[in-house]
Amino acid sequence: MTDLATKSGAEDAQADDSAVIDDAALTDADTDEVEADAADLAEADSDAESVTETEADADETGDLADVEEPAADERLVATTDVAPEADAPTEVVSPVADDAPATSAPAGAGPATPAYAWAPAEPAPRKSRKPLWIGLGAGAAVVAFAVASVTLIAPGTSVAGVQIGLLPSALAADMVNQRLADTTIVLVGEGGEAEVTGADLGASVDASSLVAEAFAANPLWNVTAWFPESIDAPVRIDDETATSALRAAAPELYTEPVDATLAYDATSVAYVTTPAEPGTGVDIAALRATLQDAFEAGETRVEFEAVSAPVQATTPTYVAEGAAARLNGILSTAGFYVGSERTVPVAREVAASWLTVTPGERGTFEISADAAAIEEIVAGLPAQVDRAAVDATVITNSAGDVLRELSEGVTGRTLGDTSSIADDFAAQLASGSGAYELPVTETEFKTTSLERRVEVDLSAQTTYLYENDKIIGTYTISSGMNATPTPTGHFTVNAYTRIQDMGALCYNPEAVNSYCTEDVPWITWFAPDIAFHGASAFRSALGFQQSHGCVNMWDADAKFIYDWTVTGTEVWVHA
């Protein structure tokens, strides 16, 4: 019975062990999945060392029964215990749940039942990242070269001898400017070896444009454009800056010029000048040429034999004369204008009293004007500017053409706001203009037209004067006799004679069939040798044909026609 019980117990234990092994097999499959996931996490730079640390802790305690679940990278493995001594109890560690009863093998019960313990799995080898980092470095180098090839200048490129190859444009321009600024000119001879730099002289080049030109023609990516010829760089020097620096460095090379002057002369009521006198100093043009050569040759230090040249005055003669001309122009035109009319003139001496002339920048002259003095004249402007409109009267022919303007039309005007005139005029005078346009409101005049014509009725021996188709005068006349008739037709007044002798005999004593009438007055000519004229001195009556062709009238009537008609007035003679 005992053997059977023991055997039965052993079989039950073996069955339990088989169950445990099956469970372990399932756990191994799950663990494989966990390991695969852990490997993926390792490729994503996750650190799996924490798992290993957990296994190590478990081994140190030696109590696998306390571990609730196996770690992802552990394996369930079987171990064979050495049979204990007869009197020593043997405890089998089982991977079952904590609440399952432990099973002890009795002494002498035969071979020991295999015990199982969790053992850490071997870590998966890490993947090598060296090819990745090599690939990334090579890619970055390619990108860097590509960027450089479109931003840097080709090797061997130079501007005026300054090497700018393999540089970005901004740095290249700075190098060109710096080289020029640092170039030193040593004055030899009378200058006593004084030294000035390009910066002292105000030297400059258009470095940005030159470098841009160099890059456009010689980019790094264009291998055929490598090592081109040097680009010339024209050097500029500021004359005023250079002269100041040279005068300070070598004063013995300079004699001071005398400036031109400008002043108001009350006697001539005009601005007059005195000419400038040039001094002597270093020839700036020659100095610039020396600096240019040194710069292009790549020399940073060069000697210059000082060459004497005239030094112009700060205020040259032409500047003073130009200012005088402008000021005298102000004096000649000073006044308040309405259109082109100088309505209120300002005397030259008065305008000069308003002006102040002072030295300006770079040898010029500045003009200012006293607004308060101008205001004294502004107060009286309305009385001199305001006026009423005056209508015009003109004489016309029947076609409406103006033959004469009897009275000229005058536009009415009223001065506008005067509150800012003084200040505005002062500012205008300072700019060189003496003609101030006044703000006015104008009123247009009306024009009256008088259409005038003369009618001579030979049948009635009467002359009629018409104005705008109304008869304004009727006069008895005497026309030409049948042998010397007055011509008929349409004529126009063409000339006037105040008084003269009429008849060929007056001028030629030998004239045949002629006459001579002296001192004929108020002659208005309208046809060849035919006119209206006075006849009071030699006619006792009118109203019938008795002339040599002219239209005879009493003197007073002839004078009225003489005054009333104008050249071009229409005359109609009919029977």
The DSSP result for 23-84, as a single string, is HHHHHHHHHHHHHHHHHHHHHTT---HHHHHHHHHHHHH--GGG-SS--TTEEEEEEPPPPP
What does residue 222 show for φ and ψ, rounded to 5 degrees? -95, 95
Q: β-strand 184-188 against 195-197: which pairing, if any?
A: antiparallel
Looking up tokens 């536009």 gives: 411
Q: What is the mean pLDDT of the chain?
A: 79
Task: With H, G, I as helix, E, B as strand and everything else as coil, classify residue 561.
Answer: helix
Output the CA torsion 368→374→375→380 (10° steps).
-160
Q: Which of 208-217, 221-230, 278-287 has the highest mean pLDDT?
A: 278-287
**Per-residue pLDDT at 272:** 98
Helices within 417-517 (DSSP H only): 421-430
Cβ burial of 67 (10 Å; 0-12, 13-18, 19+) is: middle
Secondary structure (DSSP) of 201-265:
TTEE--HHHHHHHHHHHSBTT-GGGSS-PPBP---EE-HHHHHHHHHHH-GGG-B--B--EEEEE
> How far are the Cα atoms of 163, 247, 345 from residue 204, in angstroms, in the given order?
18, 20, 52
- Contact indicator for 452, 465 with CB cutoff of 8 Å: yes
* Each residue's pLDDT tens digit, 39-67: 443 443 344 344 334 343 434 434 433 44
Lowest mean pLDDT among 227-241, 402-416, 487-501, 504-518: 227-241
> How far are the Cα atoms of 336, 386, 557 from residue 437, in angstroms, in the given order?
6, 15, 51
C-alpha closest to that of 332 among 347, 353, 354 = 347
**Per-residue pLDDT at 395:** 98
First to last CA, the chain: 190
Element (H, E) at 497: strand 495-502
Q: Which has more pLDDT, 471 or 3?
A: 471
Lowest mean pLDDT among 104-108, 324-328, 420-424, 557-561: 104-108
* Each residue's pLDDT tens digit, 129-186: 554 444 545 444 444 444 455 568 778 677 766 877 768 878 888 878 888 899 999 9
**Per-residue pLDDT at 475:** 98
Mean pLDDT to the nearest integer, 213-230? 74
Q: Which of 158-167, 187-196, 323-332 has the highest mean pLDDT?
A: 323-332
* Each residue's pLDDT tens digit, 430-445: 999 999 999 999 999 9
Mean pLDDT to the nearest integer, 413-417? 97
**Per-residue pLDDT at 316:** 94
Percent of the chain residues topping a pLDDT of 70: 72
Percent of the chain residues topping a pLDDT of 90: 52
* Each residue's pLDDT tens digit, 379-407: 999 999 999 999 999 999 999 999 999 99
Q: Which two tokens stand for residue 35?
A: 């390991």
Looking up tokens 């030297």 gives: 203
Name the pLDDT band for 240 (thresholds 50, 70, 90). Answer: confident
Name the pLDDT band for 472 (thresholds 50, 70, 90). Answer: very high
